[in-house]
Structure 1
Amino acid sequence: MDGRLIGIARHGRPRGPIEILDHVHVSIEAGVSGDFRGAVKPGGRGKRQVTIMSREGWEQAMTDLGRDDLDWWIRRVNLLTEHVALPHKPGTILHLGSSVALQVTGECDPCSRMEEIAPGLKAALTPEWRGGLLCRVIAGGEIALGDGVKIEEQA
Protein backbone atom coordinates (compact mmCIF):
# COMPACT_ATOMS: atom_id res chain seq x y z
CA MET A 1 0.00 0.00 0.00
CA ASP A 2 1.27 3.45 -0.87
CA GLY A 3 1.48 6.02 1.86
CA ARG A 4 -0.63 9.11 2.08
CA LEU A 5 -0.43 12.66 3.36
CA ILE A 6 -2.62 13.13 6.44
CA GLY A 7 -1.36 16.44 7.87
CA ILE A 8 -0.13 19.81 6.62
CA ALA A 9 1.10 22.60 8.89
CA ARG A 10 3.14 25.79 8.71
CA HIS A 11 4.31 28.61 10.92
CA GLY A 12 5.14 32.05 9.60
CA ARG A 13 7.83 32.93 12.15
CA PRO A 14 10.06 31.23 14.72
CA ARG A 15 7.99 30.11 17.71
CA GLY A 16 4.95 31.46 15.88
CA PRO A 17 1.54 29.82 15.96
CA ILE A 18 0.99 26.71 13.89
CA GLU A 19 -1.55 26.88 11.09
CA ILE A 20 -3.16 23.58 10.06
CA LEU A 21 -4.09 23.34 6.36
CA ASP A 22 -6.06 21.09 4.00
CA HIS A 23 -3.87 21.97 1.00
CA VAL A 24 -0.86 24.15 0.19
CA HIS A 25 1.48 25.17 -2.60
CA VAL A 26 5.08 23.92 -2.35
CA SER A 27 7.83 25.57 -4.40
CA ILE A 28 11.56 25.32 -4.98
CA GLU A 29 11.92 28.98 -3.98
CA ALA A 30 9.78 29.02 -0.82
CA GLY A 31 9.13 25.46 0.37
CA VAL A 32 5.69 25.23 1.99
CA SER A 33 3.96 28.49 1.09
CA GLY A 34 3.81 30.75 4.15
CA ASP A 35 6.28 28.75 6.27
CA PHE A 36 9.26 30.78 7.45
CA ARG A 37 11.82 27.99 6.96
CA GLY A 38 11.12 27.29 3.29
CA ALA A 39 12.86 30.18 1.55
CA VAL A 40 16.38 29.37 0.36
CA LYS A 41 18.76 32.04 1.56
CA PRO A 42 21.33 33.48 -0.88
CA GLY A 43 24.16 30.98 -1.09
CA GLY A 44 22.11 28.42 0.86
CA ARG A 45 21.31 24.87 -0.12
CA GLY A 46 17.72 24.64 1.13
CA LYS A 47 18.46 21.65 3.33
CA ARG A 48 15.50 22.39 5.61
CA GLN A 49 12.80 23.67 3.25
CA VAL A 50 10.21 21.08 4.25
CA THR A 51 10.01 18.81 7.29
CA ILE A 52 8.05 15.56 7.28
CA MET A 53 7.35 12.80 9.80
CA SER A 54 5.20 9.69 10.00
CA ARG A 55 2.10 9.12 12.08
CA GLU A 56 3.53 5.77 13.11
CA GLY A 57 6.73 7.36 14.45
CA TRP A 58 4.72 10.00 16.32
CA GLU A 59 2.47 7.35 17.86
CA GLN A 60 5.48 5.29 18.97
CA ALA A 61 6.99 8.39 20.60
CA MET A 62 3.69 9.02 22.39
CA THR A 63 3.60 5.40 23.58
CA ASP A 64 7.15 5.73 24.91
CA LEU A 65 6.16 8.97 26.62
CA GLY A 66 3.02 7.41 28.08
CA ARG A 67 0.78 10.10 26.55
CA ASP A 68 -1.99 10.24 24.00
CA ASP A 69 -3.07 13.86 24.38
CA LEU A 70 -0.53 15.64 22.17
CA ASP A 71 -1.34 16.59 18.58
CA TRP A 72 1.28 15.83 15.90
CA TRP A 73 1.65 19.47 14.88
CA ILE A 74 3.25 20.45 18.18
CA ARG A 75 6.35 18.79 16.70
CA ARG A 76 6.38 21.81 14.35
CA VAL A 77 6.96 19.77 11.19
CA ASN A 78 5.22 20.63 7.92
CA LEU A 79 3.89 17.28 6.77
CA LEU A 80 2.54 14.12 8.39
CA THR A 81 2.31 10.82 6.50
CA GLU A 82 0.96 7.37 7.20
CA HIS A 83 1.49 3.89 5.77
CA VAL A 84 4.91 4.67 4.30
CA ALA A 85 8.29 3.91 5.86
CA LEU A 86 10.06 7.23 5.51
CA PRO A 87 13.65 6.67 4.34
CA HIS A 88 16.61 7.30 6.62
CA LYS A 89 18.91 8.00 3.70
CA PRO A 90 19.87 11.46 2.46
CA GLY A 91 19.40 11.79 -1.28
CA THR A 92 16.23 9.68 -1.40
CA ILE A 93 13.34 11.27 -3.32
CA LEU A 94 9.76 11.41 -2.00
CA HIS A 95 6.85 12.09 -4.36
CA LEU A 96 3.71 13.73 -2.97
CA GLY A 97 0.54 14.07 -4.98
CA SER A 98 0.87 14.47 -8.71
CA SER A 99 3.82 16.87 -8.90
CA VAL A 100 5.74 17.59 -5.68
CA ALA A 101 9.13 15.93 -5.19
CA LEU A 102 11.27 16.30 -2.07
CA GLN A 103 14.85 15.16 -1.59
CA VAL A 104 15.79 13.95 1.87
CA THR A 105 18.75 15.98 3.20
CA GLY A 106 18.94 14.53 6.71
CA GLU A 107 17.27 13.81 10.01
CA CYS A 108 15.11 16.44 11.68
CA ASP A 109 16.66 16.22 15.13
CA PRO A 110 14.26 17.13 17.93
CA CYS A 111 15.32 20.33 19.71
CA SER A 112 15.06 21.53 23.30
CA ARG A 113 11.72 23.16 22.43
CA MET A 114 10.23 19.65 22.62
CA GLU A 115 11.13 19.53 26.32
CA GLU A 116 9.20 22.77 26.86
CA ILE A 117 6.15 21.08 25.36
CA ALA A 118 6.42 17.85 27.33
CA PRO A 119 9.25 16.52 29.49
CA GLY A 120 10.81 13.52 27.75
CA LEU A 121 9.43 14.37 24.30
CA LYS A 122 12.87 15.11 22.83
CA ALA A 123 14.17 11.69 23.92
CA ALA A 124 11.00 9.94 22.68
CA LEU A 125 11.45 11.49 19.21
CA THR A 126 15.16 10.69 18.91
CA PRO A 127 15.25 6.93 18.06
CA GLU A 128 14.86 5.78 14.45
CA TRP A 129 14.39 9.31 13.02
CA ARG A 130 10.96 9.59 14.71
CA GLY A 131 11.40 13.36 14.78
CA GLY A 132 11.20 13.32 11.00
CA LEU A 133 13.15 14.22 7.89
CA LEU A 134 14.60 17.42 6.48
CA CYS A 135 13.92 17.89 2.78
CA ARG A 136 14.77 20.13 -0.16
CA VAL A 137 12.10 20.81 -2.78
CA ILE A 138 13.16 19.58 -6.22
CA ALA A 139 9.74 19.89 -7.91
CA GLY A 140 6.93 22.11 -6.74
CA GLY A 141 3.16 22.04 -7.03
CA GLU A 142 0.01 21.67 -4.99
CA ILE A 143 -0.48 19.06 -2.26
CA ALA A 144 -3.59 18.22 -0.27
CA LEU A 145 -4.68 15.91 2.51
CA GLY A 146 -5.15 12.40 1.16
CA ASP A 147 -2.50 12.74 -1.56
CA GLY A 148 -0.31 9.73 -2.16
CA VAL A 149 3.27 9.56 -0.86
CA LYS A 150 5.76 7.36 -2.70
CA ILE A 151 9.46 6.74 -2.26
CA GLU A 152 11.51 6.69 -5.45
CA GLU A 153 13.50 3.51 -5.58
CA GLN A 154 17.24 4.15 -5.46
CA ALA A 155 19.45 2.42 -8.00
Structure 2
Amino acid sequence: MAFPFFGDDKSTVAQLLATLPQEGRLEWIGLRRARREAPDAVPEAEVLTDRHLAGDHASPRPGGKRQITLIQHEHLAAVAGYLGLAEPVAPGRLRRNLVVSGLNLLALKGRQIQIGEEVILDITGECHPCSRMEEELGPGGYNAMRGHGGLTAHIAQGGRLRVGDTVRVLPGPPAPEKPKK
Protein backbone atom coordinates (compact mmCIF):
# COMPACT_ATOMS: atom_id res chain seq x y z
CA MET A 1 0.00 0.00 0.00
CA ALA A 2 1.42 3.37 -1.02
CA PHE A 3 1.52 6.29 1.38
CA PRO A 4 -1.60 8.30 0.46
CA PHE A 5 0.20 11.49 -0.52
CA PHE A 6 3.20 10.11 -2.39
CA GLY A 7 2.76 8.39 -5.72
CA ASP A 8 -0.96 9.14 -5.63
CA ASP A 9 -2.22 10.99 -8.68
CA LYS A 10 -4.68 12.87 -6.49
CA SER A 11 -2.05 14.33 -4.16
CA THR A 12 -1.74 18.09 -4.14
CA VAL A 13 0.16 20.63 -2.14
CA ALA A 14 -3.21 21.71 -0.69
CA GLN A 15 -3.76 18.19 0.66
CA LEU A 16 -0.30 18.15 2.16
CA LEU A 17 -0.82 21.55 3.79
CA ALA A 18 -4.13 20.40 5.25
CA THR A 19 -2.60 17.33 6.89
CA LEU A 20 -1.83 18.31 10.48
CA PRO A 21 -3.02 15.39 12.60
CA GLN A 22 -0.94 16.01 15.70
CA GLU A 23 -1.76 18.05 18.76
CA GLY A 24 0.52 20.38 20.65
CA ARG A 25 0.73 21.64 24.20
CA LEU A 26 0.77 25.13 25.72
CA GLU A 27 4.07 25.26 27.64
CA TRP A 28 4.26 28.86 28.82
CA ILE A 29 2.15 32.04 29.07
CA GLY A 30 3.71 35.49 29.40
CA LEU A 31 2.13 38.84 30.26
CA ARG A 32 3.96 42.13 29.78
CA ARG A 33 2.56 44.45 32.44
CA ALA A 34 4.23 47.58 31.01
CA ARG A 35 6.00 48.67 27.84
CA ARG A 36 9.60 47.42 27.56
CA GLU A 37 9.22 45.20 30.65
CA ALA A 38 10.01 41.52 30.44
CA PRO A 39 6.93 39.28 30.44
CA ASP A 40 5.90 37.61 33.67
CA ALA A 41 5.30 33.86 33.42
CA VAL A 42 1.77 33.04 34.58
CA PRO A 43 0.06 29.64 34.97
CA GLU A 44 -3.17 30.85 33.34
CA ALA A 45 -4.61 33.91 31.62
CA GLU A 46 -7.87 35.33 30.36
CA VAL A 47 -7.94 35.95 26.61
CA LEU A 48 -10.24 38.74 25.45
CA THR A 49 -12.02 38.18 22.13
CA ASP A 50 -10.65 40.43 19.37
CA ARG A 51 -8.36 42.25 21.85
CA HIS A 52 -5.43 40.76 23.85
CA LEU A 53 -4.49 38.85 27.00
CA ALA A 54 -6.07 40.47 30.07
CA GLY A 55 -3.34 42.18 32.09
CA ASP A 56 -0.97 42.57 29.11
CA HIS A 57 0.05 46.14 28.35
CA ALA A 58 -0.60 45.74 24.62
CA SER A 59 -3.94 47.03 23.42
CA PRO A 60 -4.19 46.15 19.75
CA ARG A 61 -7.15 47.49 17.85
CA PRO A 62 -10.15 45.25 17.26
CA GLY A 63 -9.73 43.28 14.06
CA GLY A 64 -5.94 43.48 14.35
CA LYS A 65 -3.72 40.69 13.05
CA ARG A 66 -1.20 40.87 15.91
CA GLN A 67 -3.31 40.58 19.05
CA ILE A 68 -1.30 37.70 20.50
CA THR A 69 2.08 36.15 19.66
CA LEU A 70 3.23 32.53 19.75
CA ILE A 71 6.62 30.86 19.52
CA GLN A 72 7.57 27.24 19.14
CA HIS A 73 9.08 25.64 22.25
CA GLU A 74 11.51 23.59 20.18
CA HIS A 75 13.02 26.82 18.81
CA LEU A 76 14.21 27.96 22.25
CA ALA A 77 17.08 25.47 22.06
CA ALA A 78 17.79 26.32 18.41
CA VAL A 79 18.14 30.04 19.17
CA ALA A 80 20.40 29.22 22.13
CA GLY A 81 22.53 27.04 19.86
CA TYR A 82 23.02 29.89 17.38
CA LEU A 83 24.19 32.06 20.26
CA GLY A 84 26.56 29.43 21.66
CA LEU A 85 24.51 28.98 24.85
CA ALA A 86 24.38 25.61 26.61
CA GLU A 87 20.76 25.94 27.82
CA PRO A 88 17.61 26.86 25.87
CA VAL A 89 16.70 30.55 25.93
CA ALA A 90 14.12 31.39 28.61
CA PRO A 91 10.76 32.12 26.90
CA GLY A 92 10.32 35.54 28.53
CA ARG A 93 13.47 36.83 26.88
CA LEU A 94 11.87 36.42 23.44
CA ARG A 95 8.87 38.61 24.32
CA ARG A 96 6.13 36.36 22.95
CA ASN A 97 2.85 35.64 24.77
CA LEU A 98 2.56 31.88 24.28
CA VAL A 99 5.03 29.02 23.88
CA VAL A 100 3.68 25.91 22.14
CA SER A 101 5.36 22.51 21.77
CA GLY A 102 4.63 19.57 19.50
CA LEU A 103 3.41 21.45 16.42
CA ASN A 104 5.33 23.06 13.57
CA LEU A 105 3.91 26.55 14.01
CA LEU A 106 4.99 27.72 10.56
CA ALA A 107 2.68 25.09 9.08
CA LEU A 108 -0.24 26.84 10.79
CA LYS A 109 -0.17 30.14 8.87
CA GLY A 110 -3.67 30.89 7.65
CA ARG A 111 -5.22 28.23 9.93
CA GLN A 112 -7.25 28.31 13.10
CA ILE A 113 -6.13 26.66 16.31
CA GLN A 114 -7.96 25.94 19.54
CA ILE A 115 -6.15 26.12 22.85
CA GLY A 116 -7.87 24.40 25.74
CA GLU A 117 -11.66 24.26 25.61
CA GLU A 118 -12.44 27.87 24.69
CA VAL A 119 -9.76 29.93 22.96
CA ILE A 120 -9.65 30.05 19.16
CA LEU A 121 -6.92 31.91 17.31
CA ASP A 122 -6.64 32.83 13.63
CA ILE A 123 -2.96 32.49 12.75
CA THR A 124 -2.21 35.61 10.70
CA GLY A 125 1.51 35.57 9.92
CA GLU A 126 5.07 35.41 11.07
CA CYS A 127 6.37 37.37 14.04
CA HIS A 128 9.73 38.54 12.80
CA PRO A 129 12.42 39.51 15.31
CA CYS A 130 13.10 43.14 16.11
CA SER A 131 16.27 44.98 17.08
CA ARG A 132 15.34 44.43 20.76
CA MET A 133 16.71 40.90 20.35
CA GLU A 134 20.23 42.37 20.23
CA GLU A 135 19.53 44.10 23.57
CA GLU A 136 18.03 41.00 25.13
CA LEU A 137 20.23 38.24 23.71
CA GLY A 138 23.42 40.15 22.96
CA PRO A 139 25.35 40.42 19.70
CA GLY A 140 23.84 38.12 17.09
CA GLY A 141 20.46 37.94 18.85
CA TYR A 142 18.57 39.35 15.88
CA ASN A 143 20.08 36.87 13.44
CA ALA A 144 19.67 33.95 15.86
CA MET A 145 15.92 34.68 15.89
CA ARG A 146 15.52 34.91 12.11
CA GLY A 147 13.20 32.11 11.03
CA HIS A 148 12.44 31.34 14.69
CA GLY A 149 10.42 34.40 15.71
CA GLY A 150 7.08 32.64 15.90
CA LEU A 151 3.65 33.72 14.72
CA THR A 152 1.07 36.43 15.22
CA ALA A 153 -2.63 35.76 15.67
CA HIS A 154 -6.04 37.38 15.85
CA ILE A 155 -8.20 36.28 18.80
CA ALA A 156 -11.36 34.87 17.21
CA GLN A 157 -12.77 33.58 20.51
CA GLY A 158 -11.56 34.39 23.98
CA GLY A 159 -11.62 32.36 27.15
CA ARG A 160 -9.25 30.93 29.73
CA LEU A 161 -5.80 29.50 28.88
CA ARG A 162 -3.77 27.29 31.19
CA VAL A 163 -0.24 25.97 30.91
CA GLY A 164 -0.62 22.35 29.84
CA ASP A 165 -3.68 22.99 27.64
CA THR A 166 -3.90 21.03 24.40
CA VAL A 167 -3.39 22.96 21.17
CA ARG A 168 -5.43 21.59 18.24
CA VAL A 169 -5.48 22.57 14.60
CA LEU A 170 -9.10 23.11 13.60
CA PRO A 171 -10.42 21.46 10.43
CA GLY A 172 -10.48 23.42 7.24
CA PRO A 173 -8.04 24.28 4.54
CA PRO A 174 -5.36 26.89 5.12
CA ALA A 175 -6.05 30.30 3.64
CA PRO A 176 -4.38 30.68 0.25
CA GLU A 177 -0.95 32.26 0.49
CA LYS A 178 -0.55 35.64 -1.14
CA PRO A 179 1.95 35.76 -4.01
CA LYS A 180 5.29 37.25 -2.99
CA LYS A 181 6.21 40.52 -4.62
Tell me the TM-score normalised to structure 1 length: 0.88
5+ residue gaps, structure 2: 1-21, 174-181
Indicate the percent of aligned positions where both proteins have the same amino acid.
31
For residues 66 and 151 of structure 1, what CA distance do their matches in structure 2 show?
Answer: 34
**What is aligned with 1:103?**
122
Quote the RMSD (CA, aligned, Å): 1.7
5+ residue gaps, structure 1: none
Cα distance per residue 1:93-134 (max 9 Å; x no partner): 11100010111111111000000112112111112xx11101
For residues 85 and 69 of structure 1, what CA distance do their matches in structure 2 show?
Answer: 18
Report 1:1-155 matches (<5 A): 1-37=22-58, 39-41=59-61, 45-67=63-85, 68=87, 70-88=89-107, 90-117=109-136, 118-127=138-147, 130-155=148-173
Cα separation, partners in 2 of 1:36 and 1:145, compared to 1, 3 Å: same
Cα distance per residue 1:6-25 (max 9 Å; x no partner): 10001122202421100000
AA aligned to 2:104 is A
AA aligned to 1:121 is G
More strand by share: 1
Which 4+ runs in 1 deviate beyond 6 A? none
Q: How many aligned residue pairs are there?
A: 150
